[in-house]
A and B are shown apart, each in its own frame.
Chain A
Amino acid sequence: NAGVTQTPKFQVLKTGQSMTLQCAQDMNHNSMYWYRQDPGMGLRLIYYSASEGTTDKGEVPNGYNVSRLNKREFSLRLESAAPSQTSVYFCASSGRRDRMREKLFFGSGTQLSVL
């Protein structure tokens, strides 16, 4: 049971470089999310996708773009990486959007350092 798979697990970038974080889930979930985790700030929502073909901004979307490629895959792109984007990134998914108790299933995280 793969669940939510994120790649890569670690990445080091130079300022100005671009990269895409990949995320795929095999649970047939409608909703997918990208969070970043910084010390003392918990997890903050970057972007989310309520269903295939839709994406919306979260709390901290600046500097990021996303693509909901299909129901399984939700990618996060950094077009021009900045040191402030050094963080741990988590992808997550959940099932029915109308169920309040629907919990999130998380990937294992990507540790990104921007030098």
Chain B
Amino acid sequence: AQKITQTQPGMFVQEKEAVTLDCTYDTSDQSYGLFWYKQPSSGEMIFLIYQGSYDEQNATEGRYSLNFQKARKSANLVISASQLGDSAMYFCAMRGFSGGYNKLIFGAGTRLAVHP
């Protein structure tokens, strides 16, 4: 079975500093994809970044980067130079082919608060 674990229910960071949000996963699939989504207080789900299991380099999208450590089965999100607008819930998600279809499953989320 596939599982995503986010062990940090809440995180605080000072504005302009970097922060790492942890995500570990469990899967028996050889090919899988890892995603991060942001959910601000308004409620919508915003896609941030994607990492494929066979991608050789860590994914980056602007201030977001994904620290992918395949052997440790971790896919941590790094936000550089935090901004007040980064305050939100962050969800790690995984897609694999277990069960015959590549569904996306989510972790419980981490609430990030950015302080001025």
Chain A contact residues, CB within 8 Å of chain B: 33, 35, 40-45, 48, 50, 56, 58-59, 88, 90, 92, 94, 97-98, 100-104, 106, 108-109
Contact = CB atoms under 8 A, between A and B. Distances in A.
Interface in B1-16: 4, 6, 9
A33 B106 CA distance: 13
A56 B62 CA distance: 37
Interface of B: 4, 6, 9, 31-33, 35, 43-45, 47, 50, 52, 91, 93, 95, 101-109
Contacts of B103: 33, 45, 48, 58
Contacts of A50: 101
Contacts of A101: 33, 50, 52
Given A40-B9, A48-B103, A56-B101, A100 B95 contact: yes
A29 B54 CA distance: 25
B106 A42 contact: yes
Nearest to A105: B47
A56 B44 CA distance: 25
Nearest to B35: A103
